[in-house]
Copies of this chain bind each other. A is one copy, B any other.
Amino acid sequence: MTEALAALPPLLVEEAVERALKEDLGRAGDITSAAIIPPDARAEAAIAARTPGVIAGLALAGTAFRRLDPSATFDRTLTDGSRVTPGTAVARVSGNARALLSAERVALNFLGHLSGIATLTRRYVDAVAHTHARITCTRKTTPGLRALEKYAVRCGGGSNHRFGLDDAILIKDNHVAVSGGVAEAIRRARAYAGHLVKIEVEVDTLAQLREALAAGAEVVLLDNMPPATLAEAVAIAAGKAVLEASGGITLETVAAVAESGVDYISSGAITHSAPTLDLGLDIAVRG
């Protein structure tokens, strides 16, 4: 697991934190701290969970604090992907008081948002743990934060779908309609795409699934099919293509979907509707 989590590109982290700090500090900076906190005061802070969940985004929190005080220390008590319960210590930070107070909200906003996604993902992952199905995300992410949110999905035990329109082909109903059929759409895709691009095609019926398999689709997205139909699809595909179930799947229905034997279950909710994870940061300033 550790290797997977390490794949958050450091340049992305720096850029995201920089933008968030500028957004919060604005033109005049943290005027409350400037007015009240002595410039050389020191502070220590502890981050702890207040509700159960999975942590993601510690690198962003640490980067936020150190960006405003390069000599600040940020010690993680655990790693991204760890489960926490109320009270679990997450990290400790120590440094210039003004810097810590100024970076606090940015650090927590990142940590809470990404941990929220990891936490919800983990609930889906746990719900299908008795099957071989994996939970995967979609492109339904918060604008500007996709790579970070996809990382949070991995922290929650999920797998990543494509990162954008450019790194894999996903043929949808409109593409099929324009092409005149699933087979022709796959043919066009194969003619266009390089040999390191996977091709997935969305189908609504088992007839389309058979057409897709005959045309050599590598991955087939089974859209809005009930578990029984999915099970039929699994039998039809017989391992010739990876099967992904999609469409309105909830925490209540995901187990039944997984038991159909599909390989992947994609969910938009794990990125676009995950509530934040409640984390507390207690700061002690020594004036």
Contacts and interface: CB of A to CB of B under 8 A. Distances in A.
A262 to B, nearest CB: 11
A264 B197 CA distance: 14
A136 B193 CA distance: 11
A120 to B, nearest CB: 10
A275 B272 contact: yes
A168 interface: yes
A177 B36 CA distance: 10
A36 B193 CA distance: 11
A24 B147 CA distance: 10
Interface string A193-227: 11111101000000000000000000100000000
Contacts of A160: 28, 194
Copies in the complex: 6
Interface in A119-167: 134, 136, 139-147, 150, 159-167
Given A7-B28, A142-B109, A196 B167 contact: yes
Contact of A38 (B174, B178, B244): B178
Nearest to A275: B273
B25 A140 contact: no
A183 to B, nearest CB: 12
A114 to B, nearest CB: 10
6 contacts: A3-B38, A7-B29, A11-B22, A31-B166, A178-B285, A268-B276
